[in-house]
């Protein structure tokens, strides 16, 4: 896993080559977009939905279930994101998209998604397989950007921003890993509480997923300002087992920043401490990639400190085995 995280800039570089070579048909009269996928395949959908908030003129839904909403139809662009190509929830949603005659693009390394796409003459962007899906966010996210740009729902500059992210991550690699090691020590034997300010919740979700899968720990996340209307009231009891992590960006809204400034002393009073992680970069894409990378490093360093294998996901394998019996 460490090698995969270390190679993240190279993955982005290869992803751009794949995106540039992708041959996509034109989509017409799109009224809404649905990105359907789960786990390491679905998180790219959450992040792209935030990256295009200022450019996309139609609603974007990220679907993480078996079922598509009733409004999906011929004027819907459905993007199927399944790294393995065999995610059962995504396959069922794909069949529904076909039944509803939606306009479909698939992003996958193969499997049944690729087979179905070929049978139904659908657009497919094929990405390299064979690794844990969570380690391949660069492949799926860049292809999502490509699909949005190709169909006029995002500016082409986002792909340039990905290229600039590569240089940023390579330049900052030493600083990122040093900071990640320090934060891993802080989070060891703690319950991380992850907060983001406004429009980068997807990065918080990604970090939670990496703590779950790589570090084999439970944690939770929330986002400002929504947490001010519910979760904040829960901060009433001292708990030194909790450690707060925040993701900060240059595009945090000033009123949201003020909310956090008011709340931070509360978190410090009732937890073991608060650690702010501030993104670097000259664009939203660069800042997102920076935060994703440092979060990934933190999760694998925690795994090292705990003496566990970050790649192992035996409990998920058990779930799939039991579900296969149910299907039979």
Residue 320 designated active-site: yes
Residue 213 designated active-site: yes
CB 100 within 8 A of CB 72: yes
Measured from the Cβ of residue 192, the count of other Cβ atoms closer than 10 Å reads 24
Q: How far apart are CA 16 and CA 160, in angstroms?
A: 9
CA distances from 63 to 54, 75, 117, 162, 205 (A): 21, 17, 19, 24, 15
Q: Which residue among the candidates 89, 114, 201, 213 is catalytic per the annotation?
A: 213
Q: Which residue among the candidates 57, 229, 254, 325 is catalytic per the annotation?
A: 229
| Residue among 285, 293, 283, 296 nearest 170 (CA) | 293
3-class state of residue 197 by DSSP: strand
Q: Which residue among the candidates 28, 31, 258, 320 is catalytic per the annotation?
A: 320
Measured from the Cβ of residue 53, the count of other Cβ atoms closer than 10 Å reads 10
Q: How far apart are CA 107 and CA 77, in angstroms?
A: 13
Sheet of strand 60-63: strand arrangement: 60-63, 32-36, 76-82, 103-108, 123-126
Residue 50 designated active-site: no
The residues with which 306 forms a beta bridge, in sequence order, are none
The residues with which 80 forms a beta bridge, in sequence order, are 36, 106
Q: How far apart are CA 46 and CA 129, in angstroms?
A: 21
| Residue among 257, 317, 276 nearest 132 (CA) | 317
Catalytic residue set:
213, 229, 320
């Amino acid at each position: 896993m460490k090698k995969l995280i270390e190679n993240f800039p190279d993955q982005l570089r290869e992803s751009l080559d794949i995106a540039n070579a992708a041959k996509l048909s034109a989509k017409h009269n799109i009224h809404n977009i649905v990105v359907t996928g789960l786990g390491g395949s679905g998180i790219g959908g959450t992040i792209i939905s935030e990256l295009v908030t200022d450019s996309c003129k139609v609603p974007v839904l990220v679907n993480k279930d078996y079922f598509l909403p009733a409004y999906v139809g011929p004027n819907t662009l459905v993007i199927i994101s399944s790294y393995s190509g065999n995610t059962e929830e995504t396959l069922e949603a794909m069949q529904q998209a076909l039944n509803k005659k939606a306009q479909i693009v698939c992003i996958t390394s193969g499997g049944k998604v690729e087979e179905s796409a070929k049978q139904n003459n659908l657009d497919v962007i094929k990405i390299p397989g064979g690794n844990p899906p969570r380690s391949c966010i660069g492949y799926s996210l860049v292809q999502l950007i490509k699909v949005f740009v190709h169909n006029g729902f995002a500016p082409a500059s986002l792909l340039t921003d990905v290229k600039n992210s590569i240089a940023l991550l390579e330049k900052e690699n030493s600083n990122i890993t040093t900071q990640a090691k320090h934060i891993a020590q802080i989070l060891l034997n703690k319950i991380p509480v992850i907060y983001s300010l406004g429009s980068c919740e997807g990065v918080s979700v990604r970090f939670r997923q990496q703590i779950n899968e790589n570090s084999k720990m439970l944690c939770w996340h929330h986002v400002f300002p929504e947490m001010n209307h519910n979760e904040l009231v829960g901060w009433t009891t001292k708990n030194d087992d909790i450690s707060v992590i925040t993701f900060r960006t240059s595009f945090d809204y000033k009123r949201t920043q003020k909310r956090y400034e008011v709340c931070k002393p509360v978190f410090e009073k009732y937890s073991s401490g608060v650690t702010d992680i501030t993104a670097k970069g000259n664009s939203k894409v660069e800042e997102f990639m920076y935060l994703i990378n440092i979060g990934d490093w933190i999760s694998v360093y925690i795994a090292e400190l705990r003496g566990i294998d970050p790649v192992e996901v035996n409990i998920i394998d058990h779930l799939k085995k039991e579900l296969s019996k149910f299907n039979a």
